[in-house]
Amino acid sequence: MDTSTLLKAGQLAGRAASNPRWQPGLPLALHSEIFAPAAEASGAGAALAFARQVLDGTDSATLEERSVLWVQDTRAIRLGGRPYRAGLPEGLRHRVVHVAAKTPEDALFAMEEGLRCRDLAAVVGEIAGNPKALDFTASRRLSLTAEKHGVPLLLVRLDAAPDLSSARMRWRLASAPSSPPRWNVAAPGRAVWQAELFRARSHLPGEWILRDEPDRLTAQRIASPAAPDHGDLVRAAGA
Tens digits of per-residue pLDDT, 21-44?
A: 888 888 889 999 999 999 888 899
Within 10 angstroms of residue 164's Cβ, the number of other Cβ atoms is: 9
Nearest CA-CA partner of 50 in 206, 189, 159, 193: 193
Q: How far apart are the first and last CA of the chain?
A: 9
Predicted confidence (pLDDT) at residue 53 exceeds the cutoff of 80: no
| DSSP at 103 | S
- Between residues 161 and 66, the one the model is more confident about: 161
172 φ/ψ sector (left φ>0, alpha ψ -120 to 50, else beta):
beta
| DSSP at 39 | G
Residue 57: the pLDDT is 56
Predicted confidence (pLDDT) at residue 60 exceeds the cutoff of 60: no
Q: Which of these ranges, 69-73, 129-133, 161-165, 234-238, has the smallest mean pLDDT?
A: 234-238
Q: What would the CATH number be for the domain defined by 3-238?
A: 3.40.50.300
* Cα 51 from Cα 143, distance rounded (Å): 17
- The packing angle between helices 104-115 and 136-149, to 10°, is 20
Q: What is the pTM of this model?
A: 0.81
Residues 121, 68 contacting (CB under 8 angstroms):
yes
- Residue spans of the domains in the chain: they are 3-238
